[in-house]
Amino acid sequence: MGFSSIEAKELVDAISERHLLGHGAGRLVLELAKSKGIDIRAAGGELLAGRYWDDLPL
Amino acid sequence: MRLDPDRKLDLEEVLSDLDQYRPKRKGWVWRQKIADHRIGPFVYKDTAENLERSVPLPAASHFGGIDPQADVVVTTEIASGRFEDDLRRMRMAAWHGADHIMVIRTTGQSHIDGLIEGTPEGIGGVPITRKQVRATRKALDAIEEEVGRPINFHSYVSGVAGPEIAVLFAEEGVNGAHQDPQYNVLYRDVNMHRSFVDAAESKKLLADGNILQLDGAHNANATAREAWKVTPELFVQHAINTAYSRGVGMSAEQIALSTVPPTAPPAPKLRLDLPYAVALRELFEGYKFRAQQNTRYMEADTMETTVTHVLDTLISRLAPSDIQSTITPDEGRNIPWHYNNVAGLNAARQTLMGIDGIDELLELRGDGAFRRQVRELKERAVLFLQEILDDGGYYEAVGAGQFVDSGYYPARSADGIVRDPAGGDGAGTVIRREPDYGAPVCSHFGDNVYAQGPGKPCAAYGGCTLCDDSIIQYIDEVDSSDTVTERLRSPLADRAAGLLRPEVEKHGDGVVCVTLFVPAAPDIAEAAALEMARHMGLAEPEIMSRRIMHPAEGSVFEIKGLLDLAIEIGQLPMPDKKALLPETEIESWARPRKPVVIAATVGEDEHSVGLHEILDIKHGGIEKYGFRCRFLGTSVSAEHLLDVAEETGASAVLISTIVTHEHVHEQQMRELDALARKRGLREKLVLIAGGAQVSDELARASGMDAGFGRGTKGHDVASFLVAAMREK
């Protein structure tokens, strides 16, 4: 999806810690990007910064 | 990037702009067989296209320098730990017929959950990273243009980061990969459930990327104590991985079964290994076969290993195979040296060329003990598989230690590898997908909300890295203390300063190998050999191979040591090397003209062996080109030589002069020149002198047209004669 291996690992770890991996890390990032009108890398960056976790489309 | 065959690979150019580099092509390439292929004086049955550039086998010089290429892909395995050194080895290997370069991965990488970035140095192999893969692909893209044949680049999709590595390989143009979840389970203790789930994802990527898959069954007979007894299990391992791969969606032609003849002489190799090889091909008809060479019974003797590998290659042709892998003959004693990759490749291509067209000569028997053995092996394998099913499946079978047991199934030795289905690396990390699970990427295995409709799963955001490689994130280095730039600093400084050091593995490592025979009992001989190596100036001498010739008469040793010495290229005495005329050109000039050459050993000198080597057709002398030679004998005077030259209308006089005390050889040359001038013959005659102490410079200074010293061949003299006679 265009994340580096280091970014991808951090994202997956963060999503796994919140027990959300069953929904698909890629799906959560993509749907967040769509709902916020930002690009995918920006959405990943927001999650890594601790933002928007409550806005994830579950 | 373009390579010049006369220049070394420019490593700085390879490493420059890697963030922008994209592979020239993707996917696996087979060689194309050419029926009844005429190459030089022969017609071949089992060959493919010739290379544009290569180093032929040594004996090819007798057949016009031909270099036929077998119709099977030929593999070499490379991994010094430093990929930057391996690139030069790959180039040498490609020039010796390799078109499948397998990069062995550093041992610990299987246990790292995620990609490694940068270019750290590895142990027992290379850390597989994006930068390393990209640089290697870039070098191979240039090397394949240099030799004129596509080169398949190969590594491993295994360990707990298997799927990530498969994505990397699909993105970066890797053409072949090992992928077998059983390998993870048995040899890397990765959790079984994780391994099989990961394998589905990895195989889907390989399938879509047209990356050839090799399985891992051959590792069992590299591991088992009695390798020929695990053969029934090998069929089972091949079957499990093959069925799983087909289930994921891989086509038969993308699946290569990796197989090794399990024994080595003095075991009765063909009788044990050939039925197994044939049974395997029959059971798995329609799949590809990668024939590996035996590593299980390799010792330190490279000649012994080479003979085993020749027999392995014969079995590959009889069975037959699609890929011939080669093993370096020194793998039994050290991490392979680069010139031994070439030695292994040459043993395979020499064998493959020697047995070209063997199907026209031999047919395997359809009856008798051979066929009974083939059938028995299949029966044992089917019973093994049946028992696994009866006992609850694969996980239970591995938990019970049924794999890599050295008993000949159904016999059991209770020494198999035991793994806990709930244990191992990555245990408990498999997560069930929710009904809304989605992964907006291509080549993703299984249920996925984005793959339900038409169009690509990644369409929503413009394309994943498999569809749009411009979004791949390239990370150059992570560990600033262990980078390729840092490691290359000293080698590149040496190169810039024109310094040369010997090497076998890594740039300028200084390692040399000497062979010594010592005429004493083994223990004394060994101690003496090491002492001799120290006196040669070798640091850290170490015996690599010892072979007893006789318990009392002596042993021969191969000793490696370090030669701490750099040679300045600029200071090397470089003799002028004149280009020789081609043999066909010499003959087409000489044969119709029949030039007469008078030859003799001059002065009080009874040596004539060297001169005969230059004249006689049997020794490759100048007679073979059509020169008419008259040898007048030994201790012949200059006067007599010129008498005969005049009578016969000779074009040249060759004198051999061996005795050199008080510079008698110089006097003889001057005398011949002076007498020829006095008699008015000098303009007509080419005068040549030869001998152990004669140099071209000395001979010319002494009135000759040329002089030839030690190591001269008929071709050297004939080439000079034709050039000189043309001028007269």
pLDDT tens for A4-53 read 999 999 999 999 999 999 999 999 999 999 999 999 999 999 999 999 99
Confidence (pLDDT) at B689:
94
Strands, E assignment, B242-339: 255-259, 288-291, 323-326
Peptide bond into B266 cis (omega under 30): yes
Confidence (pLDDT) at B53:
98
Which burial class, exposed, middle or buried, applies to B243 when counting CB atoms under 10 A from its CB (0-12, 13-18, 19+)?
Answer: exposed
CB of B437 less than 8 A from some CB of A: yes
Confidence (pLDDT) at B660:
67
In this predicted structure, the answer to whether residue B395 has a pLDDT above a threshold of 80 is yes
The pairing of beta strand B33-34 with beta strand B47-48: antiparallel
| CA dihedral sign, ordered B439, A13, B183, B392 | negative
d(CA B471, CA B566): 46
Helix residue ranges, H only, chain A: 5-17, 25-36, 40-48
Q: Do A27 and B464 touch (CB under 8 A)?
A: no
Q: Do B433 and A40 touch (CB under 8 A)?
A: no
Nearest to B55 by CA among B45, B69, B42: B69
Region B322-346: mean pLDDT is 96
Residues in chain B with CB shorter than 8 Å from the CB of A30 are 438, 440, 460-461
Nearest beta carbon to residue A26 from set B439, B472, B473: B439
CB of A18 less than 8 A from some CB of B: no
Q: Do A22 and B475 touch (CB under 8 A)?
A: no
Nearest beta carbon to residue A22 from set B114, B164, B431: B431
Q: How large a percentage of chain B has pLDDT more than 70?
A: 99
CB of A50 less than 8 A from some CB of B: no
d(CA B599, CA B596): 10
Cα of B79 to nearest chain A Cα, Å? 24
CB of B435 less than 8 A from some CB of A: no
Token pair in block for residue B247: 């289930």
Residues in chain B with CB shorter than 8 Å from the CB of A24 are 433, 436-439, 448
CB of B475 less than 8 A from some CB of A: yes
Q: Do A2 and B472 touch (CB under 8 A)?
A: yes
Residues in chain A with CB shorter than 8 Å from the CB of B436 are 23-24, 27, 58
Q: Do A2 and B439 touch (CB under 8 A)?
A: no
Residues 6+ apart with CB under 8 A from B101: B75, B76, B78, B90, B93, B94, B140, B151, B152, B153, B154
Instruction: Give the number of beta-carbon pairs within 8 Å between A and B.
Output: 65
CB of B471 less than 8 A from some CB of A: yes
Residues in chain A with CB shorter than 8 Å from the CB of B441 are 1, 26
Confidence (pLDDT) at B613:
84
Selected residues 614-643 of chain B with any CB under 8 Å from a CB in chain A: none
Query: Chain B residue with minimal CA distance to A20?
Result: B434
Band of pLDDT at residue B219, cut at 50, 70 and 90: confident
Confidence (pLDDT) at B179:
97
Residues in chain B with CB shorter than 8 Å from the CB of A39 are 461
> Whole-prediction pTM value?
0.87
Region B59-64: mean pLDDT is 93
d(CA B330, CA B513): 12
Residue type at position B351: T
Phi, psi of B400 (to 5 degrees): -90, 5
Reported as a single tens digit per residue, the pLDDT across B24-44 is: 999 999 999 999 999 999 999
Helix or strand or coil: residue B178? strand
Nearest beta carbon to residue B440 from set A6, A23, A30: A30
In this predicted structure, the answer to whether residue B609 has a pLDDT above a threshold of 80 is no
Which one-letter DSSP state was computed for residue B389? Answer: H
Strands, E assignment, B468-617: 499-500, 511-518, 539-550, 554-562, 567-568, 596-601
Helix or strand or coil: residue B73? strand
Reported as a single tens digit per residue, the pLDDT across B118-171 is: 999 998 899 999 999 999 999 999 999 999 999 999 999 999 999 999 999 999
CA angle B128, B130, B135 (to 5 degrees): 95
Query: Chain A residue with minimal CA distance to B129?
Result: A5
Helix or strand or coil: residue A33? helix
Peptide bond into B120 cis (omega under 30): no
Q: Do A33 and B461 touch (CB under 8 A)?
A: yes
Residue type at position B305: T
Tell the residue number behind the tokens 């299984």, with chain if given.
B446
In this predicted structure, the answer to whether residue B635 has a pLDDT above a threshold of 90 is no
Region B508-536: mean pLDDT is 97
Residues in chain A with CB shorter than 8 Å from the CB of B465 are 1-2
Residues in chain B with CB shorter than 8 Å from the CB of A23 are 434, 436-438
Token pair in block for residue A33: 């990007």
Nearest beta carbon to residue A6 from set B441, B472, B475: B475
Cα of B116 to nearest chain A Cα, Å? 8
Instruction: Report whether B457 contacts A43 (CB < 8 A).
Output: no
Q: Do B439 and A27 touch (CB under 8 A)?
A: yes
Residues 6+ apart with CB under 8 A from A17: none
| CA dihedral sign, ordered B187, B192, B198, B200 | positive
Confidence (pLDDT) at B719:
93
Instruction: Report whether B660 contacts B707 (CB < 8 A).
Output: no
Nearest beta carbon to residue A23 from set B437, B440, B461: B437
Q: Do B441 and A33 touch (CB under 8 A)?
A: no
Instruction: Report whether B162 contacts B179 (CB < 8 A).
Output: yes
Cα of A26 to nearest chain B Cα, Å? 5
Residue type at position B169: F
Q: Do B473 and A26 touch (CB under 8 A)?
A: no
Confidence (pLDDT) at B183:
94
Token pair in block for residue B108: 């610990």
Q: Do B438 and A23 touch (CB under 8 A)?
A: yes
Residues in chain A with CB shorter than 8 Å from the CB of B440 are 1, 26-27, 30
In this predicted structure, the answer to whether residue B594 has a pLDDT above a threshold of 80 is yes
Integer-rounded Cα Rg, in Å, for chain A is 10
Least confident of B118-127, B465-474, B576-585: B576-585
Q: Bridge partners of B654?
A: B599, B688
Instruction: Report whether B514 contacts B538 (CB < 8 A).
Output: yes
CA angle B628, B630, B636 (to 5 degrees): 155
Integer-rounded Cα Rg, in Å, for chain B is 32
Token pair in block for residue B493: 């400084």
Interface test with A, best of B164, B445, B448, B461 (most A CBs within 10 A): B461
d(CA B78, CA B86): 7
Confidence (pLDDT) at B605:
64
In this predicted structure, the answer to whether residue B563 has a pLDDT above a threshold of 70 is yes
Region B1-13: mean pLDDT is 96
Query: Chain A residue with minimal CA distance to B164?
Result: A5
Residues in chain B with CB shorter than 8 Å from the CB of A1 are 440-441, 458, 461, 464-465, 471
Strands, E assignment, B483-627: 499-500, 511-518, 539-550, 554-562, 567-568, 596-601
d(CA B318, CA B277): 9
In this predicted structure, the answer to whether residue B459 has a pLDDT above a threshold of 90 is yes
Residues 6+ apart with CB under 8 A from B500: B494, B508, B566, B567, B568, B569
The verdict on ipTM greater than 0.95 is yes
Reading phi first (left if > 0) and then psi (alpha if -120 to 50, else beta), residue B42 is in beta
